[in-house]
Amino acid sequence: MSAEGVTSTNPIVQAIVAGTAPQAARMMAARGLLPLAQADLLEALVALRTSNEAEVAEAAEATLSSQETDALLSVAKDSEAAPSVLGYLAARTGLEREIHEAVALNKSTPDEAVALLASITADGALLELITVNQQRLIRAPSIIEAVINNPARTPEAERRARETKREFFEKERGAQQIAGELRAQGKVAAAEFMESAESIGVAGGLALEDAWLIAQHIEVADVDIDDSWLMPEWMEEFFDESYEQRVANAERIIGEAAREGDVSPERISLIRRIILMSVKDRIKLGMKGDREARGILIRDSNKVVATAVIHNPRITDHEVESISAMRTVSDEVLRLIAINRAWARSYSIIHNLARNPRTPIATAMSILPRIRAKDLQHISQSRNVSEAVRRQAYRLVQTRSGH
């Protein structure tokens, strides 16, 4: 993909998906008013339907709903179609059967999307078509479980799914066996994760090979983590997200990584696997994961997941310094950094917090008296911070200069 997470080579679409397009362009695209090829238009619309601008999101949804069957079908059949569009078509109910058939047969359709389609379709013949692709079933066993658990499955679809499961998976080691091997290797923290992760082996969750990969990024044992910070009022954050929400979360993080130049295929794959886990497993990984896992989860749209990273006992001052300057991190994370005595002793960290527009105003104001005069001067003239912070910085500059 070009700007990672984007399939289109059209710079307008790339800017829209990356979130850098002007508001006017986003709205025109959402209304279908830009002169774009059908595939480009759908990729832009699918990105815009999750916009935090309600008017843009509603317009994009309306434009998507107005697309003709033939136009959708042509994209569903295109092997170079954007995975995000194919995922949208897989998740959308009420479409003509031929569109879902094309999506199921398209090699570019994400495995997670096919698993979702297999779990929601009421078309037994479509389930049969999905189970014909044994290579995909082996690669993504969540599809097998989705077919078996779908009440609409036909005897033939169930037979194929169960035969593949029996031949390729029931003879393999289960999660508990893998955990045993990890313990034998001295990887206690990874074994604990494998034993308790709720995302493994469920439809839309982690295949065993995915869990193996993520287990390599766990370095903190249960005994070394403190989860007492998980307040009861945050429990609502544990509610399951939809497949589309998790995909949007992953694509947003991938977009951020692309803007920072960190777009290796391995990292993109790891981001997708991690973000497609359940909220509880991501919280657990945030507290137990290594630097690479922390770098992904600190950007999670779920504030509890991002906060878990701050409570990881292996997080370094250098990481916290970088986080304190991030413009996309949760404001709660920035507040917690500011009240941590050890981190607050670092001038680089408090300076970053003072000039970060995401820092809560009350937190930024409490930090300003500790900022050096030259840096205060810059903050007093910055248009990136709030007016209240800018005014307070100016007052402190005047007081220190004797005016």
Beta bridge partners of 260: none
Predicted pLDDT at 261: 78
Task: Tell me the C-alpha distance between 117 and 105, whole Å.
Answer: 12
Distance CA 330, CA 335 (A): 9
Q: What is the biggest distance separating any 2 CA atoms in the chain, rounded to whole angstroms?
A: 86
Contact criterion met (CB below 8 Å) for 196 and 227: no
Instruction: Give the domain extent around 376.
Output: 327-403
Q: What is the pLDDT of residues 154-193, one digit of tens each?
A: 999 999 999 888 777 754 456 777 788 888 888 999 998 8
Report the distance separating Cα 322 and Cα 6, nearest Å. Answer: 26
pLDDT attached to residue 139: 87
- Token reading at 176: 């508990």
User: Where a domain ends, among 220, 249, 276?
Assistant: 220
Instruction: Return the pLDDT at 170.
Output: 58
Which residue stretches of 240-311 are H helix? 243-259, 265-275, 279-288, 291-297, 303-310
Bridge partners (DSSP) listed for residue 206: 200
How confident is the model at residue 1, as a pLDDT? 31
Last residue of a domain, one of 220, 241, 276: 220
Q: At what angle do helices 279-288 and 303-310 cross, to 10 degrees?
A: 20
pLDDT 10s digits, 271-309: 999 998 889 899 999 999 999 999 999 999 999 999 999
Q: Give residue for tokens 């999660």.
A: 175
Q: For the chain, which residues score pLDDT lower than 70?
A: 1-5, 170-174, 201-206, 232-240, 403
In b/e form, how buried is each residue of 79-109, taking b as 16+ CB within 10 angstroms? eebbbbbbbbbbbbeebeeebbbbbbbbeeb
Kindly give, in sequence order, each residue whose CB lies less than 8 Å from that of residue 332, ignoring residues fewer than 6 positions away: 303, 306, 307
In a domain, 153, yes or no: no
Place of tokens 């500790």: 370
Concatenating the DSSP letter of every residue in 39-71 gives: HHHHHHHHHHTT-SSHHHHHHHHHHHHT--HHH
Grouping H, G, I as helix, E, B as strand and the rest as coil, residue 16 is helix
Question: DSSP labels for 187-235?
Answer: -HHHHHHHHH-SSBTSTTSB-HHHHHHHHTTB---GGG---TT--GGGG
Nearest C-alpha neighbor of 350 from the set 330, 331, 332, 372: 372
Phi-psi region of 371 (alpha: psi -120 to 50; beta: other; left: phi over 0): beta
In a domain, 53, yes or no: no
The overall pTM is greater than 0.95: no
Residue 232 lies in a domain: no
Q: What is the pLDDT of residue 149?
A: 95
Token pair for 31? 């209304």
Q: Does residue 321 belong to any structural domain of this protein?
A: no
Quick one: angle between helices 208-215 and 188-196, nearest 10? 140
Compute and round to an integer the Cα radius of gyration of the chain: 24
Residue among 62, 77, 49 nearest 247 (CA): 49
All residues at 6 or more sequence positions from 377 whose CB lies less than 8 Å from its CB, including other chains: 393, 397
296 within domain boundaries = no
CA 208 vs. chain centroid, Å, equals 20
Domain count, the chain: 2
pLDDT score of 235: 62
Tell me the β-bridge partners of 218.
289
| Cβ 125 vs Cβ 154: under 8 Å | yes
Among 300, 331, 294, CA closest to 314 = 294
Least Cα distance to 250 among 302, 184, 292, 317 occurs for 302
Domain C-terminal end among 220, 238, 254: 220
- The pLDDT assigned to 172 comes to 47
Share of the chain above pLDDT 70, in %: 93
What is the per-residue pLDDT for 202?
A: 60
**Distances 62 to 45, 55, 374 between C-alpha atoms, Å:** 10, 11, 51
Question: Is 289 contained in some domain?
Answer: no
Structure tokens at 52: 């935090």
Q: Is residue 13 part of a domain?
A: no
Residue 64 belongs to a domain: no
